[in-house]
Amino acid sequence: MTGDSTQTCTDEALSLSAIVARAPRVAQLAARCAEEAEAARRLTPEVVEALKEAGFARHFVPAAHGGTEGGFEELTHAVGLVGEGCASAAWAASLAAYAGRYAAFLPAAGQAEIWADGPDVLLAGALMPAGQAERVPGGWRLSGEWKYISGVHFADWVLACSVVPGEAVSDGHRGGRPGGGGEVRFFAVPKPDVSVRDSWFTLGMRGTGSDTLVLSEAFVPDHLTLGRSAVHEGRAIGTDARCHIVPMYAVNALPFAAPLVGAARGALRAAHEQTGRRLDRRGNLVRDKPSVQIDLARSAAEVDAAELLVRRTARAADGIDEPGAAEAAVRGPRDLALAVELLVSAVERLFRATGTSGHFESDPVQRFRRDIDTAASHVALSFETTGAAYGAWALGAENPTPAR
């Protein structure tokens, strides 16, 4: 089968995907609620419910619990469609789906507890270690603060990450650090044990509600904890679905890049509409100027190129376009970081072309620009880090470290 025919098959599959079909409705609702979400610094309840109804929460949930066990490319496409209406809603949709994927690595009893009432449970993930975990009979006692937890306000469960002493526990996972200095573990904590500190006062991505998670001596039984190394290595419990067995490096930055492709497309659409109406000081249509046409063309090409890079990473994660393991560990992170740089460039050019009117808070281009600039600062999207890892591999340096 040729590459073109494979692409056609996957495009047809995407067109039949339920989550892809439902995403435009979520985008329209999220766009209407965007100003309200910015003012409140969290998504409206209507948008949250629409994300659940569209299937984002269940996308990576194991079939045994009623989930979809879906693909990375279809989720990437659906998230991008939502992003055309609101980057914050797309970010929430993406991270909620991936948090559900992490929960699939819990022991069977933990999975059963989280999804006891069905697969549409919303989870939020604190992926960077913080806080303190103390071993107690039957589990752990967890306290501390975790910053930048997107979706924490509407999450039914949170996955908090912390460093603990390096010991094997009942889930059979062991994630010890080199030298035996401890391991990093996820702890699933239900909403009643969670407090939130209001801290998300940002230039962009305001609607994500990425406030600070606070836990005070929350008890987490052993069946609700897992070693982060299991996620990194793709060792899920009780499922062999493709989405649960890929290593972390294959998808590490994908949840963060996918929403920005949609946001850039939203900015392009808004810029096209505005430019078509604008007049210069002499009353001539701005759209007739070659310089304006060229700028729009360049931005559109950068967004297209970025989407191709992001989509290739998703296809590799799905096993459709899979490089060798060594290359895969460094190519995907490099591609996603470069894609985001292209998106930043494209939308910055569009914003400069809006003139004074583009600086008003009611203008959608400035909102997309602020959102993309803020999201692009995520540590997983740093080209300096991912590019160095790829360059070390390509040049045959000893022990190149995959970007995580």
Find the CATH number of the domain harbouring 11: 1.10.540.10
Three-class secondary structure of residue 23 per DSSP = helix
What is the C-alpha separation between 181 and 179, in angstroms, rounded? 6
Give the tens place of pLDDT for each residue, 371-388: 999 999 999 999 999 999
Task: Please tell me whether residues 214 and 110 are part of one structural domain.
Answer: no
Task: Please tell me whether residues 145 and 93 are part of one structural domain.
Answer: no
Backbone φ and ψ for 175, nearest 5 degrees, come out as -125, 45
Choosing from 114, 131, 147, the residue where a domain stops is 114
Task: Please tell me whether residues 8 and 48 are part of one structural domain.
Answer: yes
What is the C-alpha separation between 42 and 270, in angstroms, rounded? 23
Predicted pLDDT of residue 127: 87
Q: Tell me, yes or no, whether 31 lies in a domain.
A: yes
Least confident of 238-242, 279-283, 304-308: 279-283
Q: Tell me, yes or no, whether 184 lies in a domain.
A: yes
Mean pLDDT of 275-300: 82
What is the C-alpha separation between 161 and 342, in angstroms, rounded? 31
Residue 99 predicted with pLDDT over 80:
yes
pLDDT over 90 percentage in the chain: 76
Residue 195 predicted with pLDDT over 70:
yes
Task: Please tell me whether residues 64 and 20 are part of one structural domain.
Answer: yes
Predicted pLDDT of residue 358: 75
Task: Please tell me whether residues 165 and 274 are part of one structural domain.
Answer: no
Determine how many CB atoms are found less than 10 A away from the CB of residue 237: 19
User: Average pLDDT of the chain?
Assistant: 90
Q: Tell me, yes or no, whether 95 lies in a domain.
A: yes
Give the tens place of pLDDT for each residue, 216-257: 999 999 999 999 999 999 989 889 999 999 999 889 899 999
Q: From residue 100, how far is each of 33, 48, 63, 385 by CA, in Å? A: 25, 15, 12, 27
Residue 281 predicted with pLDDT over 60:
yes
Alpha helical stretches, state H, 234-324: 242-245, 254-277, 290-317
Report the chain's C-alpha Rg in angstroms. Answer: 21
Name the residue range of residue 107's domain.
Answer: 3-114
Confidence of residue 172 (pLDDT cuts 50, 70, 90): very low
Task: Please tell me whether residues 213 and 302 are part of one structural domain.
Answer: no
Task: Please tell me whether residues 219 and 318 are part of one structural domain.
Answer: no
CATH code at position 336: 1.20.140.10
What is the C-alpha separation between 88 and 151, in angstroms, rounded? 10
Q: Tell me, yes or no, whether 400 lies in a domain.
A: no
Q: What is the dihedral of CA 300, 306, 308, 310, to 10 degrees?
A: -150
Task: Please tell me whether residues 106 and 129 are part of one structural domain.
Answer: no
Q: What are residue 159's DSSP bridge partners?
A: 125, 188
Confidence of residue 328 (pLDDT cuts 50, 70, 90): confident
Choosing from 84, 114, 144, the residue where a domain stops is 114
Q: What is the DSSP letter of 57?
A: T
Task: Please tell me whether residues 145 and 41 are part of one structural domain.
Answer: no
Three-class secondary structure of residue 213 per DSSP = strand
Backbone φ and ψ for 134, nearest 5 degrees, come out as -115, 130
Predicted pLDDT of residue 176: 43
Predicted pLDDT of residue 326: 87
Choosing from 227, 256, 279, the residue where a domain stops is 227
Q: Tell me, yes or no, whether 236 lies in a domain.
A: no
What is the C-alpha separation between 297 and 289, in angstroms, rounded? 12
Predicted pLDDT of residue 171: 40
**Structure-token pair, residue 203:** 């230039």
Q: How close are the terminal C-alpha atoms of the chain, in Å?
A: 33
**Strand 123-125 with 157-164, pairing:** parallel
What is the C-alpha separation between 111 and 103, in angstroms, rounded? 7
Backbone φ and ψ for 144, nearest 5 degrees, come out as 140, -170
What is the C-alpha separation between 279 and 21, in angstroms, rounded? 37
Q: Tell me, yes or no, whether 234 lies in a domain.
A: no
Three-class secondary structure of residue 39 per DSSP = helix
Three-class secondary structure of residue 333 per DSSP = helix
Q: Tell me, yes or no, whether 186 lies in a domain.
A: yes
Q: Helix 254-277 to helix 72-83 angle, to the nearest 10 degrees? A: 40
Q: What are residue 227's DSSP bridge partners?
A: 185
CATH code at position 194: 2.40.110.10
**Number of domains making up the chain:** 3
Q: Tell me, yes or no, whether 239 lies in a domain.
A: no
Task: Please tell me whether residues 263 and 352 are part of one structural domain.
Answer: yes
Q: Could you give the angle at the alpha carbon of 120 between the alpha carbons of 28 and 122, nearest 5°?
A: 80
Task: Please tell me whether residues 99 and 20 are part of one structural domain.
Answer: yes
Backbone φ and ψ for 196, nearest 5 degrees, come out as -130, 130
Predicted pLDDT of residue 177: 43
Task: Please tell me whether residues 139 and 110 are part of one structural domain.
Answer: no
3 state SS for 164-209: ECCCCCCCCCCCECCCCCCEEEEEEEEHHHCEEECCCCCCCCHHHC
Least confident of 76-80, 166-170, 231-235, 394-398: 166-170
DSSP string computed for 89-131: HHHHHHHHHHHHHHHTTS-HHHHHHHTTT-S---EEE--S--S
Count Cβ neighbours within 10 Å for each residue of 366-389 and write b for 16 or more, e otherwise: bbbbbbbbbbbebebbbbebbbbb
